[in-house]
Structure 1
Amino acid sequence: MPMPLFLKNLLLALLLLAGVLLGLLVAGSALALWAFGEAMCGNEVMAEYPSPGNQHRVVVFQRDCGATTGFSTQASLLDADEALGNEGGNLFVSDTNHGAAPAVSVVWMGERALVLRHHAAARVFKSVPKRDGVRISYEADAGFSGPGEAPERRP
C-alpha cells in the first residue's frame, strides 16, 4: 500500500529540519573551537623598536597557545600608538626550532625600511616583505644569539 502524500511531506519536512539542525550544530561547534583556541593564546612582549620618526614601531613578542603547541617568536608592525592585540604577528612568525634559535632583533634603516635579523636555525613560517608602506628585509645569521648583537641603527 502506498504511503499517503501528507506522510511523505511530513517525513520530508522532518528530514530537512534534521539536516538544518545538524548543519547548525557543526557550524556552531567549529565557531566555538576557533574562539576557544584564540582565547587560549597569549602574547608576551619581548622588545619594541620605534621607527626613527616615531610613526611606527615593531613589537617582537612570544606567542603561546597552550600546552599542545610550542612558543613562537613573532613580530608585528604597528602604528606608534596602536596596541598589540591577541593575534599572531603581521610581519614575522617563527618558532625556535626546539631552542636552537632564541631571538630576533630589528634595525630601522629609515622611516620606511627595516631589517629583521634572526638566527639561521629558526623555522620561519611568515616573513612579509612590505606592510603599510614599510619595506622589510630579513637576515638569517647562524651566529646571531640575541637583540644585544643587533647592529647600530643606520640612516
Structure 2
Amino acid sequence: MTRGLGALLLILLGVLGAAGCSTGPDLCERTEVKRVAAPEGDRAAVVFVKNCGATTGYSTHVSVVAPDQAVGDDNEIFSADGDDGVVPLGPDNALALRVTWSAADRLMIEYPAGTRIFTQQPDRGPIKIDYRES
C-alpha cells in the first residue's frame, strides 16, 4: 500500500510540476515607448518596455515590425535593462535608446553605457542592425 501511495504522489507531483512549467498565456505587459518608421515606410522599429510582474524589473526592447503589427517575442531584436539601477530609467521605465534608420535596410540602436544586454541580433531578415554604446 505504501509503495502505491508513493507512486501516486510522484505522478501527482510530476503533473503539477508540468502544469507550472507549461507555456500558457504571456503575463508580461508591453508598453510602447516610440515607433520609428523605416525610410520607405514598410516597417518600423518599435521601442517598448516589458514588465513581467513583481519578481522582475522593467526591461527595454526593440522589435522590427510591419507598420500595423504588434510587438512580440518573435520579432524582437534587442532587449536590455538598467542592471538593477546602474543605468537610470526614464519616466516611462525605459532605457534612453536612440533608434535611427540610415537606410531602408540599416538600423542603428544606441544604448547608454552600463546597459545590461540580453538580446542583440545582428540582423532581421534583410535588415542589418548596428549597435553602439553611448
Please give the range of the TM-score, normalised by the shorter of the 2 chains: 0.7 to 0.9
- 5+ unaligned residues in a row in structure 1: which ranges? 1-11, 142-155
Q: Report % sequence identity.
A: 29
Q: Match of 2:106? A: 113
Residue 28, structure 1, aligned to residue 19, structure 2: yes
The aligned counterpart of 1:94 is 80
Cα RMSD (Å): 2.6
Gaps of at least 5 residues in structure 2 are 89-94
Task: Specify which of 64, 76, 94 is matched with residue 63 of structure 2.
Answer: 76
Letter in 1 for 2:78: F
In the other structure, the counterpart of 1:134 is 127
How far the C-alpha of 1:59 sits from its partner, in A, is 0.5
Superimposed CA distance per residue, residues 22-49 of structure 1 (whole angstroms, 9 cap, x where no aligned partner): 4333212322xx536x31x111111111
Greater C-alpha radius of gyration: 1
Deviations 1:34-88 (A, max 9, x none): 536x31x111111111100011101001111111111111111111221224x48
Who is 1:63 aligned against? 50
State how many pairs are aligned: 126
Q: TM-score, normalised by structure 1?
A: 0.69
Contact between 1:119 and 1:140, CA under 8 Å: does it hold in 2? yes
Residues 21, 100 of structure 1: CA spacing in aligned structure 2 closer, same or farther, 3 A cutoff? closer
Q: Distance in 2 between matches of 1:66 and 1:95?
A: 15
Give the TM-score of the pair, scaled to structure 2.
0.79
Q: Which stretches of structure 1, 4 residues or longer, exceed 2 Å deviation after superposition? A: 17-26
Q: 2:86 touches 2:114 (CA, 8 Å); kept in 1?
A: no
Task: Compute the displacement of 1:135 (Å).
Answer: 0.3
**CA contact under 8 A between 1:74 and 1:93: conserved in structure 2?**
yes
2:30 aligned to which of 43, 46, 60: 43
